[in-house]
Amino acid sequence: MTSFSLTLLFVSALVASLLVKFWLATRQMRHVAAHRGAVPGTFAQTISLAAHQKAADYTLAKARFGLLSTAFGAAVLIGWTLMGGLDELNQFLLQTVQPRWGGMAYQLSLLGAFTLVGGILELPFELYSTFRIEQRFGFNRLTWKLYIADTLKGVLVGLLVGVPIAALILWLMGSAGRWWWLWAWGVWMGFNLLMLVLYPTVIAPMFNKFEPLPDESLKARVQALMQRCGFAAKGLFVMDGSKRSAHANAYFTGFGAAKRVVFFDTLLNKLTAGEVEAVLAHELGHFKHRHVQKRIASMFALSLAGFALLGWLSGQAWFYTAFGVRPALAAPNDAVALLLFMLVVPVFGFFISPLFAQLSRKHEFEADAYACAQASGTDLAAALLKLHEDNASTLTPDPIYVRFYYSHPPASERLAALPLTPSHQAG
C-alpha cells in the first residue's frame, strides 16, 4: 500500500462516517420531536406528559450538542493528521527533548503533550455538557470545587498508572524484537486484569465514598438473592453518586474475590426494596450468562488483533507519511505510531460498532429474562420505568438510531419482553 492510497482510504472512511453520524442524528432528532406532544399509549398510565417532554427536550439538547462535538472532533482529527499537527508537535519535541534527555523521555513527553493538548481542546465541550446541559435538566450536582479536585486526582492517577504502562510498552516496542507486539499485548492484558482488582479498592475510593449498605432488611434480601444465584461478593456498598449527578445506577465491579456490589445512593432513594432486588437480579444475569467473561474474551481478541496490526504498521514508512508525519531517522518512532494508531483506527471501527451494540442488546434481554426468573418481573418493569423517567431517557427513539447506537434495548421493546408477574418473591 502507498501513503496516498492510505490517505484516500482514511479520508473516504472519515467522510462516510460523518455522513452516517449526521444522518442518524437528524433522524433521531426528527423522530423524538415528532412524538414529543403525546406519551406513547403503552406508557400513558405510568409516565406523565411533563416527564415525557422533558426526556424529549433532554435528548434533543444532547443530540444537537453531539452534532457540534462530532464536527469539532473531526476537525481536530484532521488537524492532528493531514494538516500536520502531530508532526509539528513531534518535530518540536525531537529538537528540544530527545537530544538532552534521550529517546524514552522524548516519547513519553510526546504522549503527555498530545494528551494535554487534546484535553484542553475537549475541555469547553466537557464543561458545557456538565454545567449547561446537565445543569439545565437538573442532573448536575458537581460543584466547581469538586470538578477541580476530580481533575487533579485524575491527572495524578493518570501519571501514577499511565506513565509506567506507557513506558513499558514503549520499551517493548524498541527492545523486544519482531514479536514485540505479542509481549506488549500480554502486558496490556495483565494490566487490564490488574485494574479490575485495583480500581474498586484503590482508585474509586479516591473519588467517591463507599459505605456498607445500612438497610439491614434490604441487605438480607440482596444476600438471599445472591445466595440462590450462586454469586459471592466481597461486600455490598452504597456510593455517594448524588454529589456529582442525579442519575441513578447500580453495578458490579472487581474481579474474582474482589467483586463488589455497588448501589448509587440516588438509586436507593428512588426504588423500593423489590425493585432494587430486581435490578440487582438483572446484573446477576450478566454473570450467570457469563457476559462479563465473554466481553473480556472479546477485548482480549480485539486487542491482540490491534497490537498485531500496529506491529506491522509501525514498521511501514507509508503509515507515517500518509498522515502527515515525517518518521524520525535518529530517534524511535514508537510513540508516534501509537498515537497515529489511536487516532486513525476508530474511524474504521465506527462501521462495525452496530454489531457490538446488537450483541449488547441481546445480553440485556438475557439478563432481564434471568432477573424475572429470580425476582419479580413486575418490580423490574417498575424499576426500569422509574429509571427511564428519572434519567430522562426518551421513550420514542428512532428505530434505526437504536440499531446503530443503543447498547440497551429501548423501553418499549424491553418492557414488552418482560413477564409482568412475580415469578419469585424473596422473604
As a whole number of angstroms, the distance between CA 266 and CA 242 comes to 6
- In the beta sheet, which residues pair with residue 237? 212, 262
364 is in an annotated binding site: yes
Q: Dihedral through CA 40, CA 42, CA 48, CA 52, nearest 10?
A: -40
Under 8 Å CB-to-CB from 402, ≥6 apart: which residues?
Answer: 409, 410
As a whole number of angstroms, the distance between CA 155 and CA 240 comes to 22
As a whole number of angstroms, the distance between CA 130 and CA 136 comes to 9
As a whole number of angstroms, the distance between CA 242 and CA 139 comes to 9
Measured at the CA of 38, the angle between CA 32 and CA 40, to 5 degrees, comes to 80
Task: Using DSSP bridges, classify how beta strands 236-239 and 250-253 pair: parallel, antiparallel or unpaired.
Answer: unpaired
Three-state DSSP state, 231: coil
291 is in an annotated binding site: no
Three-state DSSP state, 271: coil
Cα 311 → chain centroid: 26
Under 8 Å CB-to-CB from 262, ≥6 apart: which residues?
Answer: 200, 210, 237, 238, 239, 250, 251, 252, 253
As a whole number of angstroms, the distance between CA 367 and CA 369 comes to 5
Q: Could you list the active site residues? A: 283, 368
Integer angstrom CA distances of residue 145 from 141, 149, 153, 156, 207: 11, 6, 12, 17, 13
As a whole number of angstroms, the distance between CA 366 and CA 181 comes to 36
For the chain, the 3-state helix, strand and coil shares in percent, each to the nearest 5, are 75, 5, 20
286 is in an annotated binding site: yes
Binding site, residues? 282, 286, 364
Task: Detail the residues annotated as belonging to a binding site for Zn(2+).
Answer: 282, 286, 364
